[in-house]
A and B are shown apart, each in its own frame.
Chain A
Amino acid sequence: MNRQSFPGHLALALTFIMVAAFAGQMRRVQHSQQQRLSACRLTAMKRDAAHPPAAPRAARAPQSAEVIVRFRAGLSFDTIRALVARLNDRVEDRIEAVSNQIIVADEDGLSAEAVAAEYGTLAEVEYAEPNFTISLDPSEDLRFDDVLNQDHGDLDLLDEGVTPNDPMFGDQWALENRGDRDGKAKADISAVRAWSKTKGTRKVVVAVLDSGVDYTHPDLAANIWLRPQSVAAYSDEQLGIIDDVHGFNAADDNGDPMDQNGHGTHCAGIVGAEGGNDIGIAGVNWQVEIMPLKFMSAGGFGTTKDAIQAINYVIDRKRAGVNVRVISASWGSRMKSKALEDVIRKAGDEGILFVAASGNASADADRAPHYPSGYNLPNVLSVAALNRRDELASFSNYGAKSVHIAAPGAEILSTWLGGEYEEHSGTSMATPVVSGVAGLVLSGEPKLTVKQLRERLLQSVDKLDSLSGKVVSGGRINAARAVGVD
């Protein structure tokens, strides 16, 4: 090369390098786009699994053959990768939320069905399914660019397993304990694993019987119960017709259950702050219908009569066709009321589980009962509180005969008045965790009876030494096991 031609050659080389780099970048972008499309397809499959369509939808094979394979427990990821490579395929993605579940991409031109059949014959494989694209209705069909440009929470979810994109999720140790703030890693309710199966449904209604709920909170509004048009407004002999748009206010005898205290809003957020919406926190249920009921005033206290009125309202709505299956009751006292006991029993007869706080007196509730958690009824679950180290919280009541289950209840972050979030402690906070898990279970198994639901929750616990002889089940609620992930 002579000196005169050097600048020209240099320019040519630089141009070539830039073109090559651009081409490489484009391949990376394309690969990333394909991954996101795969995620989108998975999202569609999962959504469809959670809410099966009324009629079968047309399915078509993906352009490049992809198969979802779940390998048997005990196999390391390296072993799995080696197996996949031996079949001349590639590990496209790993679904962290489901152990040993892998997306396999075919590299030698086989159909997805053929690849699935091939993996299905392996002793190491539990199941293998072609990754069909679930076709949307034509009017809803997404173009490639639409998929890339849309900001869809579910896409983000799948990029990270089933961890929600709610920015404060990292502080929700009850759902995923990472060992922060002197906590114990995994001392949680296994919510992330549960969400691989269900994130809840708005077909299940959980009543939060409390100081009302701020139904305008941005993290709650989408999950607040709205009386269906098919259900007539509430009619009470004494109160007349009450336009119960969002629930009932027994403290003021009207249809506006707006919270003026914050306690009820906090409990509601634990049950079902909207998950995956890029806002605040995630509830145990990402989707659910929360029926706000108010019987406690701005001070956080109310009368037994108003509590009974509110439960009576729930029973009425159930009979009118509202699928309210759980009442979450984060309150109580030492006073025993037969009337309250009777109306709770009646709720049980209507198929409603009544989840109640065991109380915060650091006392043995077998000897010093707290009510309504202390009523010995087949639909009552009494809940103790745990701290982030899986220890019974210092304030929590306990009872080998009368307190049934424990759940995280100390330093719990949730929704508060004015669109805010606060951390609070109490068996009040543990109770909606259990109510929320009950909602999750019902989202997949809506026909469970109260007895079955209650037994499921009790039998799904993680036994803890700290709870031995302290609660009936001897354990902390486990959402994943309760919904059948294990």
Chain B
Amino acid sequence: MAMTKEEAAQRARADLASRLGIPEAEITEDGVESIDFPDMALGAPVDDEMSGAMISSGWRIRLKAHEEAYEYRADRRQIRLFNFKGANYRL
């Protein structure tokens, strides 16, 4: 099922709240922008992952919590957390 930009942003907020153990209300949205990612892992591959080398349109979702910045990457089919404590995660 295709995901919208709004749905992706909502899922990102919920995921971050869960990871940080804080209420969603403490997370602010810094911006959601449309962007072309370099591959089908949205430039955020997880370990042992290969992805199609095709430019993929999606959204960069910037969130902020307790003065820290976080970046999620999403397209209609997937959402990923980019470089969270040095690693990427596929939700």
Contacts and interface: CB of A to CB of B under 8 A. Distances in A.
Interaction A to B: yes
Interface of A: 210-211, 261, 263, 266, 295-296, 298-305, 307, 330-335, 357-362, 395, 424-429, 431
Interface string B73-88: 0000110000000000
B48 A304 contact: yes
Residues of A contacting B: mostly: mixed
Contact of B53 (A295, A299, A302, A331): A331
23 contacts: A210-B52, A261-B40, A300-B54, A300-B77, A301-B40, A301-B41, A301-B45, A301-B51, A302-B50, A303-B48, A304-B49, A334-B45, A335-B45, A335-B47, A335-B49, A357-B53, A358-B53, A359-B38, A359-B53, A361-B38, A395-B38, A427-B53, A428-B52
Nearest to A305: B48
Interface of B: 38-41, 45, 47-56, 77-78, 90
B52 A301 contact: yes
Contacts of B52: 210-211, 261, 263, 296, 300-301, 330-331, 426, 428
B27 to A, nearest CB: 25
A266 B53 CA distance: 12
A305 B54 CA distance: 21
Contacts of A358: 53
B33 to A, nearest CB: 18
Contacts, number: 93
B7 to A, nearest CB: 16
A330 B53 CA distance: 6
A300 B55 contact: no
Given A298-B77, A299-B78, A360 B55 contact: yes
A331 B52 CA distance: 4
Q: Chain A CB within 10 Å — which of B38, B53, B55 has the most?
A: B53
Contacts of B51: 296, 300-302, 331-333
Contacts of A335: 45, 47-49
Contacts of B54: 263, 266, 300, 330, 360, 424-426, 428-429
Nearest to A430: B53
Q: Chain A CB within 10 Å — which of B38, B52, B78 has the most?
A: B52
Nearest to A302: B50
Contacts of A424: 54-55
Contact of A360 (B49, B50, B53): B53
Q: Chain A CB within 10 Å — which of B38, B41, B54 has the most?
A: B54
A411 to B, nearest CB: 10
Shortest 9 CB-CB contacts between residues of A and residues of B: A300-B40, A357-B53, A426-B54, A360-B38, A301-B51, A428-B54, A428-B53, A263-B52, A300-B52
A360 B40 CA distance: 11
